[in-house]
Amino acid sequence: MAKNSAVSVSRQNEIISAAIEVFAEMGFYRATTAKVAERTNISQPYIFKFFSTKEELLRAALKTSWTRIADSFNQVVSTVPPELLEKELITAYEKIMYEHRNEVLLQMQAQTIMDAPIVEVMREGFDNIRQIVLNAFVEAGIPEPAERTMLFLARGMLCNISMALDMPELMKTDD
* pTM of the shown model: 0.92
Topology adopted by domain 2-171 = Tetracycline Repressor; domain 2 (1.10.357)
Tell me: the pLDDT tens digits for 64-84? 999 999 999 999 999 999 999
Distance CA 17, CA 61 (A): 7
Distance CA 131, CA 70 (A): 10
pLDDT computed for residue 169 by the predictor: 85
CB count in 10 Å sphere of residue 158: 13
Distance CA 161, CA 156 (A): 9
Residues of the chain with pLDDT below 70 are: 1-4, 174-175
Q: Is 9 exposed, middle or buried (0-12, 13-18, 19+ CB in 10 A)?
A: exposed
3-state helix, strand, coil split of the chain in percent (to 5) is 80, 0, 20
